[in-house]
Amino acid sequence: MEILRYSAFTDRPDGGNPAGVVLDAQGLDEADMLRIAKEVGFSETAFVTATEAPDRAHTSDRTHTPDDTHTPNRTHRVRYFSPRAEVDFCGHATVATAVALAERGTPGALAFQTNAGRVDVMTEMAEADGHGLRATLTSVPTSSEPVAPQHLASALEALRWSEDDLDPAFPAHVAFAGNHHLILAAASRERLAELDYDFEALEALSRDQSWTTVHLFHRQTDTLFHARDPFPLGGVVEDPATGAAAAAFGGYLRAIGWEAVGTPITVLQGYDMGRPSLLTVTTDASDPRVSVSGQAVVLT
């Protein structure tokens, strides 16, 4: 068994979000995978526990049939573990796994069967000159609902924020794209940059409400956003790039009727941590899912 290490949503090893990848995890039980995730020490490690060729791939559980011609050439069963627990879906580890598979001879269209449902993935060269690989994941169908006032108040207290720190143009929601994420808009870039929260309080609230991360963002333009994602539930103060939250964020923008929906949106994350990351989020009015794309590079 080989444990690979990649950084996702970046084209350089000192950027993005590191993820462990195990492509041959057949035979490992949950205790083994949790132990390996702890040893790797990243926010998540992905484990490919089974692979099927197209003629054996199960497609009956698809929740949505897109209008495209990308038939997966492989279906992979993938599970994700933080150092503390299994996570139903992880975006940056999905991108890392897809790039790792493409580098080993399985490029193009793939399907990942996750605990959250089927996630379609496409890998391709990132640039015209053939430098680097980019992966695009298409999430399970998204949803988004306003957060209960008492839970918003508890979150603001844990974040050490006030109501005045929020951008009134963006209502506070809990959004889903495989996991649930609290979505909060900072009124200023400075407020976002000064993140200093009560880890224990936010962890307890996230556990109680089943929020995988708290997705904090600030709008720079209609199609450019800055984001930060506390992940205390996974034992991580902050993620430098969070593909699952970015997918949920895309669903959130569609749910609130954001005027730029349908245009690719850029999310810049990790800059305040010194690990710059770039995520591209794309929505489609006719598809309840959201696509998130980015590069991934090997960590040595």
Report all structural domains of the chain as residue ranges with CATH numbers, in order of start.
4-138 (3.10.310.10), 143-289 (3.10.310.10)
Q: What pLDDT is stored for residue 71 in this prediction?
A: 77
pLDDT tens for residues 247-277? 999 999 999 999 888 899 999 999 999 999 9
Task: Note the Cα 127 to chain centre separation in Å.
Answer: 23
- Which of 38, 33, 43 lies closest to 91 in space, CA to CA? 43
C-alpha 195/C-alpha 176 separation (Å) is 23
- Inter-residue contact 98 to 123 (CB < 8 Å): yes
- Which of 139, 148, 166, 152 lies closest to 251 in space, CA to CA? 139
3-class SS string, the chain: CCCEEEEECCCCCCCCEEEEEECCCCCCCHHHHHHHHHHHCCCCEEEEEEEECHHHCCCCCCCCCCCCCCCCCCEEEEEEECCCCEECCCHHHHHHHHHHHHHCCCCEEEEEEECCEEEEEEEEECCCCCCCEEEEEECCCCEEEECCHHHHHHHHHHHCCCHHHECCCCCCEEEECCCEEEEEEECCHHHHHCCCCCHHHHHHHHHHHCEEEEEEEEEEECCEEEEEEEEHHHCEEEECCCHHHHHHHHHHHHHCCCCCCCCCEEEEECHHHCCCEEEEEEEECCEEEEEEEEEEEECC
Q: What pLDDT is stored for residue 131 in this prediction?
A: 61
Query: Is the entire prediction scored with pTM above 0.75?
Result: yes
Q: How confident is the model at residue 133 (pLDDT cuts 50, 70, 90)?
A: very high
pLDDT tens for residues 152-181? 999 999 999 999 999 999 999 999 999 999
pLDDT tens for residues 3-61? 999 999 999 999 999 999 999 999 999 999 999 999 999 999 999 999 987 654 444 44
